[in-house]
Structure 1
Amino acid sequence: MKKKIPYCISLLTAALLVACNPAQPPASNQNTEQARALIQAPVAEKISHEMTIHGDTRIDNYYWMRDDKREDPKVLAHLEAENQYADTLLADTKPLQAQLFEEMKDRIKKDDDSVPTRSGNYYYASEMRGDNEYPVYVRSSDFAGSDKQELLDANKLAEGHDYYNLGGLSASPNDQLLAYAEDTLSRRIYTIKFKDLQNGELLSDELQGTSGTTLWANDNKTVYYIKKDPQTLLGYQVFRHTLGTPQAQDELVYEETDNTFYTGISKSKDDSLIYIHHSATETSGVSLIDANIPDAKPIAFVPRETGLEYEVAKLGDTFYVLTNLDAINFRLMKVAADQLGDKSKWQNVIAHRPDVQLQGFELFNDHLVYQQRQNGQSEIFVQKLAGGPAHKLSFNDNAYMARMYGNNELDNPSLRVYYTSMTTPGTHYEVDLNSFALATLKQQPVLGDFDSNDYASERLFVDARDGAQIPVTLVYRKDKFKKNGTNPLYQYGYGSYGATMEPGFSSNRLSLLNRGVVFAIAHIRGSQMLGRPWYEDGKKLTKKNTFNDFIDVTKALVAQGYGHKDKVVAAGGSAGGLLMGAVINQAPELYLGVAAHVPFVDVVTTMLDDSIPLTTNEYDEWGNPNDKAYYDYMLSYSPYDQVKAQAYPNLLVTTGLHDSQVQYFEPAKWVAKLREMKTDSNMLIFKTDMEAGHGGASGRFKRLHDTALEYAFFLNLLDK
């Protein structure tokens, strides 16, 4: 645990214009307005830092807040002062936060098991018990768990850690050893350990500085893993480790020399191959390693080609290839194993369709299952490899999310599917591949008086300013909603990296809906809700469409009576935090309050610094500002650079000191500049979790405190 430094240390630097005595929270009967009068907002010191490129000089007065080691007393003092200020302003919401936390916690079944998933000779599952924050991992030789064996208890492993994340569980082919990975800092750098499942003892092997994924060769003693660059945090080296030998002797199997690529590894369903995945935003590829040969070398599936994206799966002597080759919305092809290296040999299985995006597929011995998205809705089809028509799986809701998972074996007679909608809790189905019958394995329980019939979901399209049709999914409680412009409206968005925010259920969200809040997801450009072109039209030099779409959705929902014009709140995180920053610079008057979590707001400075983790992999998403055209465009919307003297909404900004994806100093600088420039008296609250990273707190109940904080912030503004 890092020692927190008292913010009184700020006197040493005179950086903060706050009293040395810690601010005392106001009495419980005092409201937020009174709290503001009791403490002055931290005012950060201004130290001019010039940055010049393309003949343009920017002055960053808060550049000094960057401390890569997270040890600078001046920086830590400022963050602690902001935390105390936030606690004071939020003091009168403490009872509501506590109430919301208990509401959300009480909906969660304390003793809850995952649906067992088959992998090899065993079915694997996790079990939550009582007030435990973390699961216990188990396996059994059958689905019913008749001979259950405990593998790991994450609660015991997490003892003594403020943050704990367990990942990368992988059993050896002979089922006698277990590899697992631990992150205790939330930097997404894992240490891999090995457990003997016969005697319960740990092996002496420990692999440091990894991505967390471990794959076994078929000799039960050779493992593959990815090592991360400690500065950029890019996983770029694939190593081969032999159990019983020091990590220093591990063999480097593959090294990625292009720092715009991520590197990943996986194993074929028939266990014959290790796949090395090479992934950039607009280019991808695969290399193959024979899992039966301990010293095998990787072979490229086809030579890497800029703009070509593909992924592969093996069935017998045939590889199936999902690719964008002459197909912006992707198509499925196949090629014989003895014709690798030549994409001219690829043959169509599912042809490209310009209005339908092919999203993914699963192979079984006798069946092909594929998923596509048409008009914004995902669909799953089952087809016999021997031929015949494809069968579409049917679901009841008009807007839903369905995904395939846990289909690890080629000889499975059924397909595992996870399904949810805005009104339907997560449901696990087993689909018979021959009869197509759906059997419900589990629906996530929601304790209390929840009845899905009390809620309604709508899917609609609204007009963007350039004529595009933007999909929107809404949910509300029927007896609390009137389409007359009186309800509060909570709007969420993301809109980057092609990530589609699916319309799924949230038991936490019920705390908003039950208070009459309408919840809306704006499926803006930059996602793939309407296929790959929807993504292409919301990145690089078209990125502003993302922000315009979000604003246009707000205006449309208010105009159509879904929300009151003075009761609109909005939230987004990470790249969605950039969205929030851009939106409030452009149209602050539309929003009563905004929450920006781990927000990526200092776009230009970060994208010019390739020492910052993950920057170089982002060029195909945002553009490379070393090119003047991208620099000028990026600068024109960068939230930090575009802060101006104007009124802003009430703002809640959160970050984690150890965030590896969006460094804490981006929101810290942004908040400091907002404090300097904004002309209103609205709240500006900035909280830093001094122990967490990009994902926030770990543990199933601890995370609820973060949600309760945001909800209480909004509900307090809305007088709910």
Structure 2
Amino acid sequence: MNPTSLLLSAVLTMTLSTPTVAATAATPPDAAKKPHVVKAPHGAQRNDEYYWLRDDKRTNPEMLAYLNAENAYTDALMAPLKPLENKLYEEIVSRIKQDDSSVPYRERGYYYYSRFETGQDYPIHARRSGNMDAPEQVLLDVNAMAKGKDYFSVGDFEVSQDNQILAWADDAVGRRQYIIRFKNLATGEVYADEIPGVSPNIVWADDNRTLFYVENDPETLLTVRVKKHVLGTPASKDVLVYEEKDDSFYMSIDRSRDDKYICIGVESTVSSEMRCAPAANPDKFVVLAPRERDVEYQADHLDGRWVIRTNADGAANFKLVTAPSDATSRKQWKDWVPHREDVFVEGFELFDGFTAVAERSDGLERLRLMKKDGKEEFVKADEPAYAMGLSVNSEHDTPWLRYSYTSLTTPGTTYEVNVDTGERKLLKRDPVLGYDPEKYVTERVWATARDGVKVPVSLVYKKGFEKNGKAAMLQYAYGSYGSSTDPRFNGPVVSLLDRGMVYAIAHIRGGQEMGRKWYDDGKLFHKKNTFTDFIDVTDDLVKQGYAAKDRVAAYGGSAGGLLMGAIANMAPDHYRVILSQVPFVDVVTTMLDPSIPLTTNEYDEWGNPEKKDYYDYMLSYSPYDNLSKQAYPAMFVGTGLWDSQVQYWEPAKYIARLRDLDAGAQPVVFRTNMDAGHGGKSGRFRRYRELSEMYAFMLDQLGLAGAGATATAGK
């Protein structure tokens, strides 16, 4: 089909039905098939008839015509739901305090914070000298910087050690290729120095003129080189400090807790290495401990020693060790906080008088306070399911620990606790206008997976809910990279709860909610546990009466979009509607191509399909490769044209093939943000417009399009 007919096919006539959006109401675009053989080094071959949709430059007219046709189809199909979308958007935005600000933190005599102004999409980053009553100095007004741009993001920004010069990295495309710029905070002058093609990770040296940064490969976007820039010199003359030759490693740069060292960290899925130099004279970077496969470590420095989180010596759930300042090998490490089978050590923060250790136990986060006198205690939690973690603790010479706390019913909260006296201060609770937490209930339950493993599930619903098997439910999960999905407050979900829905987070294998083994049991040759866990949680919750069998929605994004594609193939009749954002659905083809950003970094997550055993296993679950002639649920799939993490062509190809094979009658819509990357459009409110469209589609499919925000749950 040529581009003209693609666009003509999206000129549609809508009909109203129940649900409002029906698959028979319009004819979706039909992408052309063009035979293309994808070969693996071991001889395996697959035909990919939609491979032509890939265009690294994003300029192919036929490809763009197809994406535009899909957008036009979505526009027409969703037209009857525009009033519902608008209502959801108004509800969500009405809960946001528009002139909000962050909790200020003190660093080198200044109080730093970010604030929003009413009606503005972007933050203003500012500081005050000495105290919060001093005049405000605006560092960056991102609203002014983003004016006239479809996309804009400020990544990292750092002030020099003498408090005089600001360096920041911004991205005006959404591909996560940033440009570093500089500003004199005394005069307001923006310097001519610009450094393109970098990651948003910058560190000043003590001389206040030298900036260390991480340069990206322009094609793969891998973090490959650390360079240093001296103000007033051309970026082309910047000196190479370190280059990583192994393309399975990510790279970052940071200052130590005591500001004495600048450290370059490289990390793969299963290995890591750090090299550090004195911040006062960062000419020679020395390796703290040479990399070893299956040995990970992260170190910080205070009080004349390194404290290191590591899984060395079989510490699967990690432990803490110490080492002298001049350490260069693991032989100099001494155990401090031992490894435990039932506690996963996530991180730590060093203070002069104590150490705060972030841990997980029984699927929940906690903070353990270890004092210098040997005494220990835990920061208290108030609910059965919650999320707790270290907040911004910019200074180490204080007895006060800042931490964050939230739950599915409690908005994000910042506390400060005095480790010496036990006094606790509420610094801020995110304002949610018109929201009353007493009207909602959260609980933690356990679902049984098919292999007998107990999977934790966090639930929230409105008071008055009856567990009678009639309610609609949205179930969310991620389940990859060891990333834990904690039960945090989700403002937009309130609109679903108020319409009688249950919201569930399935803490499936592939995350680290239950420790490192939970992650290991959900990757590589165990990846299918992630998918079956999600399905089994659904079935268990339906069996317990939390939802009707025919009123379950599923939602996931990125690697969670892979999850959505897998469950759609494996258990399509278990879900009424599936929501999938920037989904990683073409696993084998992507992982066979090392030129695609992130591919080589992730062989230890998914496997390297250049090896036949990995190829065969990945092929057995890859959503694109396992689409078949069967009835699929209603689907809403979204992507960004400039996404650098999951390229737009993965969901585009998936939708094109799905339209060929879907034997069902449910609608499938595909929305491409033509000016956005992996995180969607930029700005505080624009993303809620996109979310409202997706929610409207879901509510319609669940029979709740006409439900008001006062519906009684479960009735």
The interval holding the TM-score normalised by the smaller chain is over 0.9
What is the alpha-carbon distance in structure 2 between the residues aligned to residue 52 and residue 162 of structure 1? 38
CA 186–416 in structure 1, closer or farther in 2 if over 3 Å, else same: same
* 1:248-299 deviation digits (Å, cap 9, x = unpaired): 00000000000000000111122111110111011111110221115x1211
Q: What's the offset of the Cα at 1:55?
A: 3.4
Write out aligned runs for 1:477-488 (5 A). 477-479=462-464, 481-488=465-472
Q: What's the offset of the Cα at 1:717?
A: 0.9
* Residue aligning to 1:251: 239
CA contact (8 A) 1:25 1:87 kept: no
Letter in 2 for 1:469: K
Write out aligned runs for 1:278-357 (5 A). 278-293=266-281, 296-326=283-313, 327-338=315-326, 340-357=327-344
What is the alpha-carbon distance in structure 1 between the residues aligned to residue 133 and residue 64 of structure 2? 49
* Residue aligning to 2:391: 405
Letter in 1 for 2:3: S
* Residue aligning to 1:10: 3
Letter in 2 for 1:595: L
- Matching of residue 716 in structure 1 with residue 700 in structure 2: yes
CA 143–470 in structure 1, closer or farther in 2 if over 3 Å, else same: farther
Q: What's the offset of the Cα at 1:30?
A: 7.3
- Matching of residue 222 in structure 1 with residue 210 in structure 2: yes
**Matched residue SS, 1:123:** strand
* Residue aligning to 1:454: 439
- Which of residues 635, 638, 641 is equivalent to 1:654? 638
* Residue aligning to 2:709: none
* Residue aligning to 1:498: 482
CA contact (8 A) 1:31 1:92 kept: no
Write out aligned runs for 1:664-703 (5 A). 664-703=648-687
* Residue aligning to 1:19: 8
* Stretches of structure 1 lacking an aligned partner (at least 5 in a row): 1-7
- Matching of residue 130 in structure 1 with residue 118 in structure 2: yes
Letter in 2 for 1:325: A
Higher relative contact order (CA 8 A, sep 6+): 2
CA 495–284 in structure 1, closer or farther in 2 if over 3 Å, else same: same
What is the alpha-carbon distance in structure 2 between the residues aligned to residue 305 and residue 388 of structure 1? 32
CA contact (8 A) 1:261 1:279 kept: yes
Q: What's the offset of the Cα at 1:31?
A: 7.1
* Residue aligning to 1:438: 424
What is the alpha-carbon distance in structure 2 between the residues aligned to residue 182 and residue 567 of structure 1? 43
* Residue aligning to 1:170: 158
**Matched residue SS, 2:525:** helix
Letter in 1 for 2:343: V
Q: What's the offset of the Cα at 1:317?
A: 1.7
**Matched residue SS, 2:298:** strand
* Residue aligning to 2:453: 468
CA contact (8 A) 2:286 2:328 kept: no
**Matched residue SS, 2:169:** strand
Letter in 1 for 2:28: A
**Matched residue SS, 1:90:** helix
CA contact (8 A) 1:228 1:236 kept: yes
Q: What's the offset of the Cα at 1:23?
A: 1.6
**Matched residue SS, 1:308:** coil
CA 375–31 in structure 1, closer or farther in 2 if over 3 Å, else same: closer
CA contact (8 A) 1:179 1:194 kept: yes
* 1:325-357 deviation digits (Å, cap 9, x = unpaired): 12000001101113x122122111111101111
**Matched residue SS, 1:547:** helix
Q: What's the offset of the Cα at 1:32?
A: 6.6
* 1:514-558 deviation digits (Å, cap 9, x = unpaired): 000000000000000100000000000000000000000000000
CA contact (8 A) 2:19 2:703 kept: no
What is the alpha-carbon distance in structure 1 between the residues aligned to residue 449 and residue 312 of structure 2? 30
* Residue aligning to 1:424: 410
CA 323–36 in structure 1, closer or farther in 2 if over 3 Å, else same: closer
Letter in 1 for 2:559: A
Letter in 1 for 2:303: G
Letter in 2 for 1:49: H
TM-score by length of 1: 0.96
* Residue aligning to 1:45: 32
**RMSD of aligned alpha carbons:** 1.5
**Matched residue SS, 1:278:** strand
* Stretches of structure 2 lacking an aligned partner (at least 5 in a row): 705-715
CA 145–70 in structure 1, closer or farther in 2 if over 3 Å, else same: farther
* Residue aligning to 1:3: none
Letter in 1 for 2:142: A
What is the alpha-carbon distance in structure 2 between the residues aligned to residue 188 and residue 72 of structure 1? 22
**Matched residue SS, 2:578:** strand
TM-score by length of 2: 0.96
CA contact (8 A) 1:237 1:254 kept: yes
**Matched residue SS, 2:620:** helix
* Residue aligning to 1:179: 167
CA contact (8 A) 1:322 1:333 kept: yes
* 1:123-142 deviation digits (Å, cap 9, x = unpaired): 11011011000111110124
Q: What's the offset of the Cα at 1:388?
A: 2.5
- Which of residues 44, 50, 61 is equivalent to 1:56? 44
Q: What's the offset of the Cα at 1:38?
A: 5.7
* Residue aligning to 1:4: none
What is the alpha-carbon distance in structure 1 between the residues aligned to residue 516 and residue 566 of structure 2? 23
Letter in 1 for 2:578: V
* Residue aligning to 2:378: 392
- Which of residues 231, 251, 256 is equivalent to 1:263? 251
CA contact (8 A) 1:83 1:688 kept: yes
Instruction: Name which of structure 1's ranges 49-58 and 196-205 shifts more when overlaid on structure 2.
Output: 49-58
* 1:155-203 deviation digits (Å, cap 9, x = unpaired): 0000111001012110011101101111011111110110100111101
* Residue aligning to 1:578: 562
Q: What's the offset of the Cα at 1:145?
A: 4.1
CA contact (8 A) 1:26 1:35 kept: no
Q: What's the offset of the Cα at 1:119?
A: 2.1
What is the alpha-carbon distance in structure 1 between the residues aligned to residue 101 and residue 197 of structure 2? 31
Q: Any runs of at least 4 consecutive aligned residues in structure 1 with deviations exceeding 3 A, and if so which?
A: 24-27, 29-39
Q: What's the offset of the Cα at 1:34?
A: 8.0
* 1:490-516 deviation digits (Å, cap 9, x = unpaired): 100110000000000011110000000
Identity across the alignment (%) = 47
CA contact (8 A) 2:586 2:625 kept: yes
**Matched residue SS, 1:428:** strand
What is the alpha-carbon distance in structure 1 between the residues aligned to residue 26 and residue 529 of structure 2? 40
Q: What's the offset of the Cα at 1:359?
A: 1.0
Instruction: Name which of structure 1's ranges 520-529 and 403-412 shifts more when overlaid on structure 2.
Output: 403-412
**Matched residue SS, 2:29:** coil
